[in-house]
Amino acid sequence: MSSDTPSMGASKRASATSGLRNSQTARPVSPHTPQARSGNPSFASSTSPSSSFRSEDDAIIFEIGARWLRAGFEGSSAPVCVVGFGPEDSRRVGDYRGWIQGSTGAGRLPQSVDMDEWTRVYELWRPDSREVDLGLVEDKIERAFRETYNQFLLTDAGTSRLVLVLPSLMPHPLLSSLLSTLFSRWRFPSVTLLSSATMSATAAGLRSALVVDIGWAETTATAIYEYREMTTKRTTRSMKHLMQEMGLLLTGLASDGSQDPDTANRISVGFAYCEEVVSRFAWCKPQAKKDTSSDELNRKLSIPSPANPEEEYMEVPFSHLAEPAEKVLFAPGVEEHELDDEEKSLPLLVYNSLLSLCPDARGTCMSRIVFVGGGSRIPGLRRRVLKEVSLLIDRHGWSPIRGKALERQRQRLEELRLSARKASSPPETPKSNGEAPSTNDEPADPSKEVPEIDFVEQKLRRQNKDIPVPIQGVLREVESLGPWAGASLTTSLKIRGMVEIEREKFLQHGLAGATRDIDHPVPDRRSGLRSGGDRSSWTLAGWA
């Protein structure tokens, strides 16, 4: 994924692989005359493309996920609307049952439903495109966009540029469906794709970050270094499972625990009701330890009874509501080696993605952890993840090597050293004993180590005294305004996306028209002469 990575501003770094092309381009710094552009006045001003050629409308930004769609105008801090996908949105026109009987899923289901079926109708797509009816997705997208424009955006659809914030990993059939729906339905002049992880980092004011997106189908941890996506790791422990787990919990409450085994994975409470419970009261214990004060454990909360949410209330111990999040996202009591690669717990996911970075990037990213996505709203979750990650770091350091052999070897070394020390200086033994494991087993933990400043470093520091030393090497969480706001920021600064798909070109060839060459040179918009060749091609960058 390192390709789809944006770079902004830093002229040195504006490489071809960056996901954003800047409207100002890299220039030599020292003396230079304005280059021979004066002969071509029409291109002289084209460096700020939107201002001079035509007064362009504000771009419209859509963030699309499997469950929600956010839409709004560039430059605003929050989307105008947030629209969900659900069975109510796939009804026929003129079908008002949702209004007559109350929306589906608010009450109890007539019969219990399999977990997967339960969530399916509420998803726009799933990551596995074999299970997706693309035609249906197109229909839903078309309707969602049309209604968003008509109800919330209140502008003519298709007149202004469209910016889509998408996860950096999109199945091509889906992406193609999405784009062809938009292009064939409306006359969008161009569609810009921005990667949601990078935009989350931007909206946190960061250039490097570890963006943990606790989304619907999966949780991704994307390490971003100088706006480049370095690695992405993902796990299926996500909001969908959390919702299902909460559904099971509520089903259990509704039936008073008298579950027969063949309905073990079936849910009988409504999805909307369950989602309400999750959004209101799902929480996560900030500590893994069990023995919270009994006062807290016993505290009851009255929620609408899962058996009959419309009328009755039911007392539920508050601590119960923390269980789904704990079980789904942290997998307590399960050894690491028992988990599949795709279902690591959240702390492991964060740790592993940090581990896979090179030390420099790791140090930078670990003190810039950004949580986004629906799961990041669960109170207590983020702190808990960070705590467990720091535990993992304490335990393993930054070494991927585990196992008994290593342990044995370490002990042998330790003994060797201890005996050596004992021989030489017995009085120091107790002290070194305590320190020994941490000093020689792994190449010191950067978060613990006191930074040792050598003379080169000192000199460098003295030289650029103005440039503040970035925080590095400690676990720190930074709040982000979310990918939508990031895209809004980026777009309003007139920074252009690397992936800008123009209408005519897409309609000719579709996605296949994109240049496969990821290192495709960024079309240089200044040089009017060469641009002929460059303009004919476009790239999908990271989405290719």
Partner 1 sequence: MSRPFPYTYISCPCADTPVPDPARKRRSRESPQKSPQKPPTGRVDTDQDKKLSVKEEQQGEDEDEEQTFDPRSPRSNFSLYPPEQLLYCEECHQIKCPRCITEEIVSWYCPSCLFETPSSMVRGDGNRCGRNCFNCPVCTAPLAVSTIENATGNGPQQGPWVLSCGYCLWTTLDIGIKFDKPTNIRSQLQKMTDSTPPATHDRSRQASRNFGDLKHPLSSFASVDEQSSARERDGEQAAPKDDPAAPPMGTDARFAALKNFYRTQIAETSNSPNDHLSSEFGFSSPGALNRLMSLYTSSSRLSGLYGGSKKPKSKPPVMREALTASEGLQVALENNETDMIARLQSPECGWDGMASIDQRATQSPDARFVDDLLPLPVLLRTKRAKRCKSCKHILVKPESKPQSTRFRIRLIALSYIPLPTLRPLAPSSSSALPAMAPTSDLNSLPPLRPIHVLLTLKNHMFDPVRITLATPPVTPGHVATKVTVLSPQFEIGANSDVWDEALQGASAPLTSDSRSAALRGVPEAGKVWDKGRNWTTVVLEVVPGTLPGSSAEGGDGNPNTETNDEDILAVAASKQDEDVLEIPVFVHMDWDADAQLDQQNVGKGSKPDDKVTRELAYWMVLGVGRIQASL
Q: For residue 136, what are the contacts with CB-CB under 8 A and spacing of at least 6?
A: none
Residue 40 CA to residue 465 CA, distance in Å, equals 42
Residue 422 interacts with partner 1 (CB under 8 A): yes or no = no
CB of 232 to partner 1, least distance (A): 21
The stretch among 75-83, 336-344, 352-360, 398-406 that binds partner 1 (CB under 8 A) is 75-83
The DSSP letter of residue 503 is: H
Residue 205 interacts with partner 1 (CB under 8 A): yes or no = yes
Element (H, E) at 108: strand 108-114
Residues 53-72: x/- map of binding to partner 1 (CB under 8 A)?
A: -----x--------------
276 versus 442: smaller Cβ distance to partner 1: 276
**Could you say which of 85, 283, 330, 543 contacts partner 1 (CB under 8 A)?**
283
Residue 303 interacts with partner 1 (CB under 8 A): yes or no = yes
Q: Quickly list DSSP for 236-298.
A: S-SHHHHHHHHHHHHHHHHTTT---GGGTTEEEE-HHHHHHHHHHH----SSS-S---HHHHH
**Could you say which of 275, 326, 343, 388 contacts partner 1 (CB under 8 A)?**
275
**Could you say which of 67, 108, 161, 207 contacts partner 1 (CB under 8 A)?**
207
**Could you say which of 355, 481, 501, 540 contacts partner 1 (CB under 8 A)?**
481
The stretch among 79-87, 189-197, 238-246, 451-459 that binds partner 1 (CB under 8 A) is 79-87
Residues 484-523: x/- map of binding to partner 1 (CB under 8 A)?
A: -x--xx--xxx-----------xxxxxxxx----------
CB of 398 to partner 1, least distance (A): 23
Residue 237 CA to residue 513 CA, distance in Å, equals 36
Residue 257 interacts with partner 1 (CB under 8 A): yes or no = no
**Cβ atoms within 10 Å of 400's Cβ, excluding its own:** 9
* Cβ(251)–Cβ(269) below 8 Å: yes
**Could you say which of 16, 44, 253, 544 contacts partner 1 (CB under 8 A)?**
44
**Cβ atoms within 10 Å of 19's Cβ, excluding its own:** 26
Residue 159 CA to residue 49 CA, distance in Å, equals 17
The stretch among 239-247, 332-340, 428-436, 475-483 that binds partner 1 (CB under 8 A) is 475-483
Residue 92 interacts with partner 1 (CB under 8 A): yes or no = yes
224 versus 436: smaller Cβ distance to partner 1: 224
Q: Residue by residue, what is the 3-state secondary structure of 168-222?
A: CCCCHHHHHHHHHHHHHHCCCCEEEEEEHHHHHHHHCCCCCEEEEEECCCCEEEE
Residue 4 CA to residue 195 CA, distance in Å, equals 8
CB of 143 to partner 1, least distance (A): 6
305 versus 441: smaller Cβ distance to partner 1: 305
Residue 530 interacts with partner 1 (CB under 8 A): yes or no = no
Residue 4 CA to residue 540 CA, distance in Å, equals 8
Residue 73 interacts with partner 1 (CB under 8 A): yes or no = yes
